[in-house]
Amino acid sequence: MTKMETVGGGRNLTYALHDAVGKAIVTGHYDHVAFPTEADLARQYAVSRSVTREAVKMLTAKGLLVARPRKGTTVQPPRAWNLFDPDVLRWMLERKFSLDLLRQFTELRIAIEPMAASIAARTASPEGVAGIAAGYQRMVAAEAGDDDPLEADIAFHIAILAASANPFYAQFRDVVVTALRTSIRFTNRFKGRTASLPQHRAVLTAIEAHDPVAARTAMAALIEDVMALIAEAEAEAEAAG
């Protein structure tokens, strides 16, 4: 039996159960196992039926579960999941590393970030540009061992989304953060590489110069470099059988 820790009131238990079960679904625990009933979940995690019911409702709202008459609650296929939900994205990082997932993340990035950089070059406020520059300086510091490379890289890219001043682009923050964490884990593991400072500097320089074409081109080149690494890794994996 998996017993959950009690940390405060019922609402905390609900979120804890929602987190545990959501992670289990996304990481494939129920791929070949029937999803338990609410009563079984309550017994398994030693929580009340009301806590279980609320957690299942939350997971249903995220597209992970569906309840049908006479069929009970079943796990939805990944195509039905809300992939822009921060919790779903976080749980996806718990899955076994997948080149397919990385490629899909990167394809989405290349559709979003070059245009965000172009918009930032055209419309960013001085504060927005300063935020991007601060992110780049964190990357410089990380190269010298004085900051965290992953968090510095993320800060740079998120600052560009924010500097676009487009609320729709800003809403992609969690997706880009998750994609970057996956991408950097891949480049570190397969190529022993860290982020290219000259490539990031080119993006910053173009934005500072208010050159939207150069900003878009520089950001696209940066992400296409990751795509090339993915294609190389996929070819190696196919050759290995």
Choose between 183 and 112: higher pLDDT. 112
Is 8 a residue whose pLDDT tops 70? no
CA 173/CA 116 separation, integer angstroms:
12
User: Across residues 200-220, what is the average pLDDT?
Assistant: 98
72 φ/ψ angles, rounded to the nearest 5 degrees? 75, -160
Question: CA nearest 229: which of 197, 191, 202?
Answer: 191
Fold of 10-80: Arc Repressor Mutant, subunit A (1.10.10)
Q: Mean pLDDT over all residues of the chain?
A: 90
> Into which CATH architecture does domain 97-239 fall?
Up-down Bundle (1.20)
Q: Residue 117: what pLDDT?
A: 98
Contacts of 36 (CB under 8 A, 6+ apart): 44
The lowest-confidence range among 27-41, 82-96, 196-210 is 82-96
CA 171/CA 51 separation, integer angstroms:
30
Which pLDDT band, with edges at 50, 70 and 90, does 1 fall under?
A: very low
pLDDT tens digits, 42-99: 999 999 999 999 999 999 999 999 998 888 899 999 999 999 898 998 898 888 778 8
State the sign of the Cα–Cα–Cα–Cα dihedral 55, 60, 65, 66.
positive
Q: Residue 187: what pLDDT?
A: 78
Per domain, the residue ranges of the chain are 10-80, 97-239
